[in-house]
Structure 1
Amino acid sequence: MTGQPYAVTVPRGYRVGPWVVREPIGSGAFCTVYAGRPAGNGSRDLPREAALKFLPTGTRTPRRLRHLRELAEREVELLGRLRSPRLIRMYDALTVDDPDDPELDGATVLVLELAEGSLDAVPAPVPDPGAVLAQICEGLAQLHRAGWVHGDLKPANVLLMKDGSVRLADFNTAAELEGTHAYAPAFATPDYTPPELLWPEIDERGTRIRPSADVWAFGVLAHVVLTGAFPLPGATTGARADAVTRYARGTAELRLSPELPDVWREIVRDCLAPTHADRVGTEALLRRVEHVAGLARSPRPPRLRRPRLRHRHPFLAGALATALLAVTGLGIAAAVAHQQATSDTELASSYRPSLWGVLVSLR
């Protein structure tokens, strides 16, 4: 990271919660990741090392602050609810309390499993690319089964662990499905974006996105991993986006690299169908990739866990508390209206179970 600007600059030795910041690992447009170790002798409950992802959610312009908080909330919500073997693990989420440093005060810090590096840092050819691609596809299947779309799959968001396994990471643009669609922020990496989302319609909820967008991104990523080149020509990102648009409109053909192994050619082609409806489904894709990679079928992931209220990041706690107050208030208002037509005894027997149901559903 020498010479690169950091989204969040944190001095070495800085203390946040039980963690001490060490060297920087990587930086993007919205965050910077540092290595971290437990302070002092640490605790038996803490891992010996972790990745500390700093998001500047405390001090920025109001519009930018809302955007950054939304990105942080998305990632905390997803990682707090899902425990899948192909998704990076989140140990904790903290909020920096440091009024003397306005650039850091209020920042959100995600304490994540520490990886060896990302796929984009691995020189070509990638060792055992079939196994790597199968694990990436397994992670997508786990997300989609749970009702989420990643929205920004690319080599930089694929992490390689010490044991050689793969984890998907960076879920700040992930979105939960509502039927067939989800609503994601209007932000993605153009080289991995399907044609229907290169110039999307954006409303107050964001961009409508389907799981097929992740399938397209996987097709591009597989082509890059297996050949070292993008599947559509162009010397720049803009030129490649133009090529994708012409392909989607039927004025250009998809010409895959001759270096792409034959066993992968039809898989990549089916991922890169010009319309979302013609792309292969995630489950079928996973089975085909596992077959080509010579791997056994992956097990189904564990069930969703309910999100836990963490008081250490107040913007999330406040949102849940507001929701609880609003729903409880509706129950009280209904009980008051009902009281006009019922006796006190009837009110007690009808209202208490209703309020109890509200509290249980929000635990």
Structure 2
Amino acid sequence: MRAVVTGSGSALPVNCVTNADLADRVDTSDEWIVERTGIRQRHIAGENETTSTLATEAARRALEDAGVDASEIGLIILATATPDFTFPATATQVQHALGCGGGVAFDVQAVCSGFLYALGTADSLLRTGMAKKALVIGAETFSRILDWEDRTTCVLFGDGAGAVVLEARDVADNGPGILATKLHADGAHRELLYVDGGPSTTGQVGKLRMKGREVFRHAVVNLADVLKEVLVQANVEVDMIDWVVPHQANARILDATARKLNLDPSKVIVTVDQHANTSAASVPLALDVARRDGRIKAGDLVMFEAMGGGFTWGAALARM
């Protein structure tokens, strides 16, 4: 029994903000941002666009792609660090909007690794028979927690959502499905990437704070290590991978991780230039782009990886 990806979908806010647009707001430039991050634009949620509305749109597109009716979904796991409310879970709002109430629906909070955590959790629940079909969603409105006067962070992030439909199936050894997942966390480095607020501390939402150089260093090491762990678990060599769909944080991190693994850079799906860092949404967003433009096809061996605040990090290998 494996959890098989049968569809994907994504959603972006209407408002697209270029680096030049940001240069009118903070002390920065297109050249400065591109050189350090590879980012050229990002989408910023408007007044009527929330994490739940973006997640719902991405979920509907994933259901359409899979040819699945919402009534067939028995499990929804939504990864986000920017929920609509402290509670109820944003997943329950998506469930209600889709009209498939009664099943399991909850949020996962692992920041940029959230989609990997949600994917691993859904995989486990589908294998044990908790549900037959699931929606796994990554959705964020990070623009709500940015300090728009801090040019070192506000240029890095964007809003969006991505979703996949998973179905529990009995398949052959060489058939499709999630083959291996590894997840990690280490709370010792909280001060390197965090939000300076919360319900039980300040009583306010707070703003994102980050020490970029330190995060970069940890990201390259942690991601390379967890990718190797998954390869060992799945008994797969790195040159057997058709595509890597990484968390889209920074083009430099993507390049450095590929070099550390001796991985062909042409196999890495890159969307950070168009979407910036959309946290938990970035992996499913990139996957959907690459599936719809024809790069990722049925039968391909695809590696997903991400690292986020906490620190949390993880990777998963799937046959599409």
Q: TM-score, normalised by structure 1?
A: 0.24
Higher relative contact order (CA 8 A, sep 6+): 2
**Higher strand residue share:** 2
TM-score, normalisation: structure 2: 0.26
For the pair shown, which has the larger CA radius of gyration, 1 or 2?
A: 1
